[in-house]
Every structure is written in structure tokens, then in C-alpha cells.
Amino acid sequence: MALRRCCWKLVGPGSRLLWSGSVQPGTYSPVGRVFVNTRQGYKSSELQLRRFTSRQPPSPDVSYEELKRLLSEQKAVLVDVREPWELREYGFIPGSVNVPLGQMDTALQLGPEEFRERYGGEMPLQTDHIVFVCLAGIRSKTALSTAASLGYKDIQHYPGGWHEWAEREQIK
């Protein structure tokens, strides 16, 4: 029996499964279940096949040990999203670039020269591994969402923030 004009909305950000026209439900392939997805503007005969997997995406959180390793191997750009006065009062993780959260959206859209002039560090590229940090992990999670909306893919945040870093590094 063919399925006609049915729309399913799956759980998860932006996951929609749309079937339009005459499509046989439950199509299988050797590599797993294949679903038929049509987008607006496509003729009903033009179908986009999409495979769903059970593989979990990498965690957006980075632990203290992972952060130490990434920094020692210089495999990540560390962006501190606190206000400049907080860095002066509490301290900062060596090697981090300070971009206050309120400026994050515009900062990540600047040219490399202007970014360097304003923030005193190299602008992270969309291909760089970026880790966001703040005082306690709240603002860094917001920065993660902002960067993702601007097309950055390899991004994480340090939920322990400066509090955990200072405690583990025995900074007073």
C-alpha cells in the first residue's frame, strides 16, 4: 500500500521526515533503514534519500583532563567568554582569547585582521577545534549555541569553567 501526503516530525533539532507522493513505506537497504525525504520545491518524482544512524555525536562537553591535553598539544582554540574585568579579578587560562559573550555573534563574523586588533588573538576558523570557557559553564554553553548557528562544527565547552580550572591548578 502506498503512503500519500504524510508528515512525521521526529524528536531532535530540525529532524523532519516528509513523505510526499506515492512512496512505499519502510524501504530498506543493505546498510540500514532508508527514509524518503522530499523538500519544498522538489517535484514529487525528485526524492532525497537520507539514512538515519544510531551513532551518537561527540559530546559538547570537555573535561579538565581533555582540556589540558588539547592545550598542551595545541589542538584547540580556547575562547574565554567572560567580561574583561572578570579575567583581571579572577584570572584566566593561559593561551585563551577573551571574547565577551555579548560580542560573540559579531566577533565570529569579523575578518581575521579586525578580530586580532579587537581581541588580541587569532580568529578561530570554522575548521578549528574551539573550546569555550567561562566562570562556571553557563555562558560557555550559550557561546556554543551561537558558534553552531554561525556554522562552526568542531566546538565544545568546558562546563567546569574557571572555578574548576583554578581549583585543579591550585590557583588562589
Q: Set out the domains of the chain in order of their start, with CATH numbers.
A: 6-51 (no CATH), 64-169 (3.40.250.10)
**The cell 566562570 sits on which residue?**
135
Of the CA atoms within 13 Å of residue 103, those in its CB half-sphere come to 15
Residue 31: the pLDDT is 40
Residue 59: the pLDDT is 79
Residue 27: the pLDDT is 42
To the query of whether residue 6 is one of the catalytic residues in this protein, the response is no
How far from 28 is each of 1, 50, 52, 155, 156, CA to CA, in Å?
16, 12, 12, 34, 35
Catalogue the long-range contacts made by 41-45 (C-beta closer than 8 Å, 24 or more residues apart): 44/20, 45/21
- Per-block average pLDDT, block size 10, for the chain (172 residues)? 45 45 43 43 44 58 95 94 96 95 95 95 93 95 94 95 93 75
Residue 139: the pLDDT is 96
Question: What's the chain's length in residues?
Answer: 172
Whole-model pTM above 0.85?
no
Among the listed residues 134, 143, 147, 155, the single catalytic one is 134
